[in-house]
Amino acid sequence: MNFTLKVWRQKNSSSPGGFETYEARNILPDMSFLEMLDVVNEGLLASGQDPIAFDSDCREGICGMCSLVIGGIPHGGQRGTTTCELYMRHFQEGQTITVEPWRAKAFPVVKDLITDRGAFDRIIQAGGFVSVNTGGTPDGNAIPIAKTTADSSMDAAACIGCGACVAVCKNASAMLFVAAKVSHLNLLPQGKIEKDRRVLNMVKQMDAEGFGNCTVTASCEAVCPKEISLSFIAKMNRDYGAAILKGSER
CATH code for the domain of 63: 3.10.20.30
Most distant pair of Cα atoms in the chain: their distance: 64
Note whether 16 and 93 are same-domain residues: yes
Do residues 73 and 96 touch, judged by C-beta distance below 8 A?
Answer: no
Name beta bridge partners: 100: 69
Do residues 163 and 177 touch, judged by C-beta distance below 8 A?
Answer: yes
Domain boundary among 111, 127, 144: 111
Tens of pLDDT, residue by residue, the chain (250 residues): 999 999 999 999 889 999 999 999 999 999 999 999 999 999 999 999 999 999 999 999 999 999 999 999 999 999 999 999 999 999 999 999 999 999 999 999 999 999 999 999 999 999 999 987 777 777 777 888 899 999 999 999 999 999 999 999 999 999 999 999 999 999 999 899 899 999 999 999 999 999 999 999 999 999 999 999 999 999 999 999 999 998 854 4
pLDDT one-digit tens code per residue, 204-225: 999 999 999 999 999 999 999 9
Note whether 142 and 239 are same-domain residues: yes
Q: Please report, as a single letter, which amino acid is at residue 43.
A: G
CA angle 170, 216, 114 (to 5 degrees): 40
Note whether 196 and 80 are same-domain residues: no
CA distances, 185 to each of 124, 127, 182, 219 (Å): 12, 10, 6, 24
On the CB side of 119, CA atoms within 13 Å amount to 28
Going by C-alpha positions, the residue among 39, 42, 41, 43 that lies closest to residue 31 is: 39
Note whether 217 and 143 are same-domain residues: yes
Note whether 38 and 150 are same-domain residues: no
pLDDT one-digit tens code per residue, 169-184: 999 999 999 999 999 9
Beta strands in the chain (DSSP E): 3-9, 18-24, 69-70, 73-74, 96-100, 109-111, 114-115
CA distances, 69 to each of 102, 122, 138 (Å): 6, 23, 43
Q: Quick check: pTM over 0.85? A: yes
Bridging pattern class, strands 109-111 and 3-9: unpaired
C-alpha to C-alpha distance for 151 and 179, rounded to whole angstroms: 16
Do residues 9 and 16 touch, judged by C-beta distance below 8 A?
Answer: no
Domain boundary among 111, 130, 148: 111
CATH of the domain at 169: 1.10.1060.10
Q: Return the percent helix, strand and coil in the chain, to nearest 5.
A: 40, 15, 45
Alpha helices in 49-174 (DSSP H): 118-127, 137-141, 147-157, 164-168
Total domains, the chain: 2
Domain that holds residue 69: 3-111
Do residues 181 and 155 touch, judged by C-beta distance below 8 A?
Answer: no
Note whether 103 and 171 are same-domain residues: no
